Chains A and B, each alone.
Chain A
Amino acid sequence: QVQLVESGGGVVRPGRSLRLSCAAFGFTFGDYGMHWVRQAPGKGLEWVAVVRYDGSDIYYADSVKGRFSISRDNSKNTLYLQMNSLRAEDTAVYYCARDLRGWFGEFSADYWGQGALVTVSS
């Protein structure tokens, strides 16, 4: 069955970097667009970034643009989120989520990982 497993979360000081990974199982990873979505403690969902199935198109939320980078390795069935210049307001649970399709300008995520907690604190 479809499974997404995030890793790489933890506690990091402001201004430092962290890379999240999302391993995909149970489907042809290279056929689907992939998203990162985050949720600050006690808050709602915030979309972070998307990468098309083949990596040819990428978009970011304004709140992370220029600091975060989404990428994928279809040979390893893995999605990444490189987070640089981290701020306290980036503290959240980060979910990777599979797009319903290859991603062509819509947003529907049909499978979600369990989430990885990132805490930015001095």
Chain B
Amino acid sequence: QSVLTQPPSVSAAAGQKVTISCSGSSSNIGNNYVSWYQQLPGTAPKLLIYDNSQRPSGIPDRFSGSKSGTSATLGITGLQTGDEADYYCGTWDRSLNAGVFGGGTTLTVL
């Protein structure tokens, strides 16, 4: 059981937009920055979004992040088949004094 809650899977057609939610609590998302990671099959995770909404250099602006209260959202526009991957949200939990991840969301591009 993950501390952060994500939908197990989402899907959308190529060229469309999809959003992935991440729900937590005041001890984690509510008071800490959220980051998002993409994990392509058989590879290490890659940072997509940090500090709730910032993109590292090299990450296209098709990827966006937002946070409201104790929830965060990853948005992906102009979906491509290469976006098919597992996506994880992560943050620090002040009660646990530990890093925490969501359970991961598998994106399928139809």
Contacts and interface: CB of A to CB of B under 8 A. Distances in A.
Interface of A: 35, 37, 44-47, 50, 59-62, 95, 97, 100, 105-115
Contacts of B91: 106-107
Given A45-B37, A95-B44, A115-B44, A61 B98 contact: yes
Contacts, number: 73
Main secondary structure of the interface of B (DSSP, over half): strand
Nearest to A45: B101
28 contacts: A35-B99, A37-B45, A37-B99, A44-B102, A45-B37, A45-B39, A45-B45, A45-B90, A47-B99, A50-B99, A61-B98, A62-B96, A62-B98, A95-B45, A97-B45, A105-B32, A105-B92, A107-B33, A107-B90, A107-B92, A107-B99, A107-B100, A108-B90, A109-B35, A109-B47, A112-B44, A112-B46, A115-B44
Contacts of A105: 32, 92, 94
